[in-house]
Structure 1
Amino acid sequence: MILPSLKDIAWNIFLPVFALLIGSHVNLANADLADAITKVKPSISVVGYYKSTNSPRFTMRGTGFVVADQNLGANFVVTNAHVLYGAAEDSSGSELVVQVRDAKGSLQPRQAQVLEVDRLHDLALLRFSGDPVVGIRLKDSDAVREGQSLALMGFPIGGALGFSPVTHRAVVSSITPIVLPAPTGQQLTEKSIRSLRDGSFDIFQLDGTAYPGNSGGPLFDVDTGEVVGIINMVFIKGTKESAISQPTGITYAIPANFVKQLLQRHKAN
């Protein structure tokens, strides 16, 4: 009888233990994301316009989320500025509405008003009426690192899949500067030159798929459920329709610290 060597014995012990450790790590990561989704989901809102003569009466424009800030109060929603102003035909003569979830999880339409707009960073702060809705906390976005695993949540494809929040994983592939397009020579004024000089700021480039409708949704830490960014655009090849049929998997998000600045500006006012 040939006895196994010490090397074979050690290897046979190591493999099952290694597999167990890897499996445990994956299960813990999945549990963290599941817990984070439970925290974030009640705060996700649908942002759009209501007009009784339209068909349908409610037109979704994007996603938003209720932000938690003990110094601000309740029922404040953060979304993208372009969600509000991207289509004049939607908003003309219409009422701004956010749909939020009540304590039972049912969507409820609430009248909303625009409090602050930061077009440079594509952000808007809204407040809606009615009973308080739970909010999500903002995290220091300067702590985000390239290669970090995050998640995003929203209503992809403009609610075509229904108004149930959808979550996608994403990895920070790059933290890169964004520069606004330069105006023409005739448009160069002291104000526009200052805007160009101040218009470059870092954003998160994500290896993750978002769709039209995700704009304004939160990018969040899978460990804590805290928001580190706001989805604001998807890289598209060709037409807008190709964002659905041929998604590039490249998405961009505005760091949450710019939201903190917007909140501070509102408090100061």
Structure 2
Amino acid sequence: MNTLSKAARYIRWILVITISLSASPVHAHNPLPKTILKVKPSIVGIGLHDPRSAPKTTLSATGFVIGNGQLVATNAHAIPDLNSERNQSIAVLVPGGRTSEVYKATLVAKDDEHDLAIVRFQGKRLPPLSFSNQTVLEGQAIAFTGFPIGPVLGLYPTTHRGIIAAKTPVILPVPQVGKLTAKQLKRMKHPFEVYQLDATAYPGNSGSPVYDQTTGEVIAVINKVLLTGNKESALTKPSAISYAIPVKHLQELLTSL
């Protein structure tokens, strides 16, 4: 009887431990939820403000706050062409549901080679994101937050996660030299490394910060136009592979201010 009682108590103890473990929160060992909460206040939309249009402000890309809290980093191609006669301006859209805010911004730095830009907006200071100085490794867990298909889904920051799939040159060799474009020839003289992501970015994600899932420090900037156009120009149907520009190029641009 004593032996059976001990066995029963042991089995019951095992069941209690098993149930307790299975009932633990899923995110108990997942740092990403806390990191997203830290990153989201720094994510803004990039668009065009036209007082003569309806709606007056349109969303086209993503940006994130850096520096003094009034600077925003994004892709150079995301900066709209302005019509001075219509009094158009670059718009920085700060999410907030019904209380979303729009600020006029000016371009203060641009790097066409790496498709990066920095704009300054006048308004409340927002929490800036920090840059990572750690070596980026293939297989490293990353996430990026932005506005995929922003004009349709609206000003609601969305996060995707994945890993650094590869470090690769900005241009890939082609079978015949005669098939190289002028832009590709120019880039072959001064190639730079980019990150290939095992995660899917969508139109509107351009300019999104790619960050470490644990620290939230930015390691790269999503690019959906410049890099795909160069690396996959030979494909009739471009792949869903996403690319990102190492943050060191953004650091250099910020330092140039």
Give me the TM-score of the superposition, normalised by structure 1.
0.74
Give the C-alpha shift of residue 92 in structure 1.
Answer: 2.9
How far is 1:179 from its partner? Answer: 2.9
Structure 1 counterpart of 2:101: 108
Secondary structure of the structure 1 residue equivalent to 2:149: helix
The verdict on how the C-alpha distance between 1:146 and 1:161 changes in structure 2, with shifts beyond 3 A counting, is same
How far apart, in 2, do the equivalents of 1:29 and 1:174 lie?
A: 26
> 1:117, 1:125 within 8 Å by CA — same for their partners in 2?
yes
Tell me, in whole angstroms, the C-alpha distance in 2 between the residues paired with 1:25 and 1:249: 33
Number of aligned residues = 230
Distance 1:146 1:22 in 2: 32
Work out whether 1:99 is the aligned partner of 2:93.
yes
Q: Are 1:165 and 2:160 matched, yes or no?
A: no
Residue of structure 2 equivalent to 1:84:
79
Equivalent residues of 2:27, 2:33 under 8 A apart? no
Q: Distance in 1 between matches of 2:136 and 2:22?
A: 25
1:7 alignment counterpart? none
- 1:156 partner SS: coil
Given that 1:207 and 1:249 are in contact with CA atoms closer than 8 Å, whether structure 2 keeps it comes out as no
Farther-moved stretch of structure 1 (20-29 vs 123-132): 20-29
Q: TM-score, normalised by structure 2?
A: 0.77
Cα separation, 2, equivalents of 1:23 and 1:251: 36
Query: What residue is the counterpart of 2:27 in the other structure?
Result: 27
Give the counterpart of 1:75 among 65, 70, 90.
70
Letter in 2 for 1:97: A
RMSD of aligned Cα (Å)? 3.4
| Cα deviation digits, residues 107-143 of structure 1 (max 9, x gap) | 2111101000001111001110012111111112x61
Structure 1 portions without partners, runs of 5+: 1-12, 241-247
Q: Is the 8 A contact 1:61 1:84 kept in 2?
A: no
What amino acid sits opposite 1:33 in the alignment? L
Are 2:93 and 2:103, in contact at CA under 8 Å, matched by a contact in 1? yes
Separation in 2 of the partners of 1:26 and 1:238? 42
Is 1:154–2:149 an aligned residue pair? no
Q: Report the Cα offset of residue 75 of structure 1.
A: 0.5
Matches within 5 A, 1:176-187: 176-179=168-171, 184=182
What is the Cα deviation at residue 84 of structure 1? 0.9
Q: Which amino acid aligns with 1:138?
A: F
1:117 corresponds to which of 100, 107, 110? 110
Corresponding residue for residue 50 of structure 2: 51
- Give the letter for the 1:124 counterpart: A
SS at 2:250 equivalent:
helix
Q: Deviations over 1:58-110 (max 9, x none)?
A: 1222000001x3xxx3311000001015xx4xx334211101257x9942111
In 2, distance between residues paired with 1:250 and 1:29? 28
